[in-house]
Structure 1
Amino acid sequence: MPINENKTRRAVLQGVTALGATALWPRFAYGQDRLRTGTQLRPFPIGRNGESVDQIRRIRTNDRVVALTFDDGPHAVLTPQVLDILAGRGIRASFFVIGNRVVRAPGLVARIAREGHEIGNHTWSHPHMSQLSDHAILDEIDTTARAVEMATGFSPVIMRPPYGEFDRRQSRMLRLARNLPTVLWSVDPQDWRRPGGWAISDYILTNTNPGAVILSHDIVDDTVRNLPRVLDGLSAQGYRFVTISELLGWPAWNQRRHLTAVPIG
């Protein structure tokens, strides 16, 4: 039976309230991202050198490291194939998941986290964010964050806007409100256009540079079929694969506690 998305969203929000925070309170006090240090929690800054970062496309580095990212999952059939391919090569990637798909496959999301990959926030319903109010944006992000937390025990510490539609003002708003940087990309094979598997892999192999953030989709079958060629080709060029947090010089995303909105009073 198809899942009623409104009921599912309400269930997630009820889970948010049960956890002591909610995306829909009229007033907010915003917590900081914090690093677990035993029983102590200390503020953890955004940025490789402690600076504030609103939008990230790539990292300037001479090291041959790249971050491979996948958007729009989880996909019941293709995402497990991606995970198997990555596991066979000992490679970690970053998955920007859609909230309403997370609640349909929490076990698969838990597997992504369990196998050492990073999970990023890709909103609840994949909307055009440029058309939304700030309140609606935070609602999309908070609901997805709690869906991921309910599946994995951890909340994402990075966000990618659908279609890349997020201006600098919105990115600054999100950083100030949720301490989340906006992660875009520097290598885009436009696999969603279905140009063919070799065209996708050729583009990535030709255009990747040190510190690159590679955009892919784990809902595109051509991308998945040609993923071994991409991984082996970049490895042959001397590249090492890291998660977004690792690329930024952060601890692993699931070693950090991200605090979303908590009620005032």
Structure 2
Amino acid sequence: MVSSQQGGRARSSLLGRWLAPLGRRWLGTLIRVETTTPLVALTFDDGPHPRYTPQILDVLAHYHARATFFVLGRHAAEQRDLVAQIAAAGHVIGNHTFHHVRMPQTPRYRRWQELWSAQRAVAPYGTRLFRPPYGGQSYGSRVDALLLGYEVVGWTFHIEDWVAQSPVQLLERLNRQLRPGSIILLHDRLVQPRDPAAADRTPLIETLATFLAQWEETYRFVTVPELIRAGRPVRGPWFRPAL
């Protein structure tokens, strides 16, 4: 005979298995897309930058690649023509807050203000995609993004492009981790770089050109929304203080 305690545990287990997919859907963060189609999403954070972002746009256009730019509201407000240029080229613009705040350590009213202000700064080109600065996220900040209608986008891998590296080193890290359905974290601008030498995005731009030339016959580089539509989005728990 099954005891009431055992029955309660069984019901709890069944309920947990039923609720888990809902939790991943509503509170999970997008980290990749399960697909056998050779598609990859390049994403760029912290811009736009008046010098480096146009160069990146030129490289992407040359190789018929599209990307997703998670822009800072304060930079977008200073570079409105560049924001329009990004959108006109077929790229997607996401929200990265207005001031690049650390979301877990920021009071709720300020988090909402950061998202609203950034969304206004990129209007009418913004989408409901959000990437928290430094990748930092708490349960509270995730719920805030959910209430404001945002899909939170993390990444599959990064190449530490906030540290000064040669194009050879950057390219090796990209090639080693590349897989179909990946979301790759890159930066077209660095906010308060830990390594001042890394503020120069020239090595990354050189790497990007080589990388796209190397893989243009194998992979198609698409926006995050395009990648989501191409397979099964994989969302997982993403609660961390900061990268």
Q: Aligning the two structures, in what range does the TM-score lie when normalised by the shorter sequence?
A: 0.7 to 0.9
Output the CA distance in 2 between the equivalents of 1:60 and 1:185: 13
Matches within 5 A, 1:1-16: none
Check if 1:111 corresponds to 2:85: yes
SS in structure 1 opposite 2:62?
Answer: helix
Percent of aligned positions with the same letter in both sequences? Answer: 35
Residues 32-71 of structure 1: per-residue CA shift (max 9 Å, x gap): xxxxxxxxxxxxxxxxxxx546311111111111100111
Matching residue within 72, 82, 104 for 1:130: 104
Structure 1: segments with no counterpart, 5+ residues: 1-50, 251-265
Equivalent in the alignment of 2:197: none
The amino acid across from 2:212 in the alignment is: L
Structure 2 gaps, min length 5: 1-24, 190-200, 231-243
* Structure 1: distance between partners of 2:114 and 2:183: 24
Whose helix proportion is higher, 1 or 2?
2
Whole-Å separation in 1 of the counterparts to 2:42 and 2:185: 7
Structure 1 contact 211–247 (Cα < 8 Å) conserved? yes
SS of 1:157's partner is strand
Compute the displacement of 1:230 (Å): 1.4
Cross-structure match for 2:170: 200
Q: Which letter maps to 1:241?
A: F
1:239 aligned to which of 219, 227, 230 = 219
- What SS class does the counterpart of residue 226 from structure 1 fall into? helix
The CA deviation at 1:199 is 1.1
| Root mean square deviation of aligned Cα | 1.5
Picking from 129, 141, 152, the partner of 1:158 is 129
Q: Does 1:210 align with 2:190?
A: no
Match of 1:173 in 2: 144
Find the counterpart in structure 2 of residue 87 from structure 1: 61
User: Does residue 65 of structure 1 match 2:39?
Assistant: yes
The answer (yes or no) to whether the contact 1:205–1:233 under 8 Å persists in 2 is no
TM-score, normalised via structure 2 length: 0.76
1:205 is paired with a residue whose SS is: helix
* Whole-angstrom distance in 2 between the partners of 1:79 and 1:214: 17
Number of residues of Structure 1 aligned to a counterpart in Structure 2: 195
Q: Which has the larger radius of gyration?
A: 2
* 1:222 is the counterpart of 2:206: no
1:179 shift after superposition: 1.2
| Structure 2 CA distance for aligned equivalents of residues 101 and 62 of structure 1 | 36
Amino acid at match of 1:248: I
TM-score of the two chains, using structure 1 as the length reference: 0.70
Question: Shift in Å at residue 174 of structure 1?
Answer: 1.2
The one-letter amino acid of 2:214's match is: G
**Superposed displacement of residue 132, structure 1:** 0.5
Q: Distance in 2 between matches of 1:218 and 1:186?
A: 18
Kept in 1, the 8 Å contact 2:104–2:140? The answer is no
Following TM superposition, by how much is the alpha carbon of 1:156 offset from its aligned partner in structure 2, in angstroms?
2.1
Q: Would you say 1:186 and 2:167 are equivalent positions?
A: no
Tell me the secondary structure at the aligned position of residue 179 of structure 1.
coil
2:229 to 249, 262, 265: 249
Runs of 4+ with >3 A deviation: 51-54
Which secondary structure state, in structure 1, belongs to the residue aligned with residue 78 of structure 2?
coil
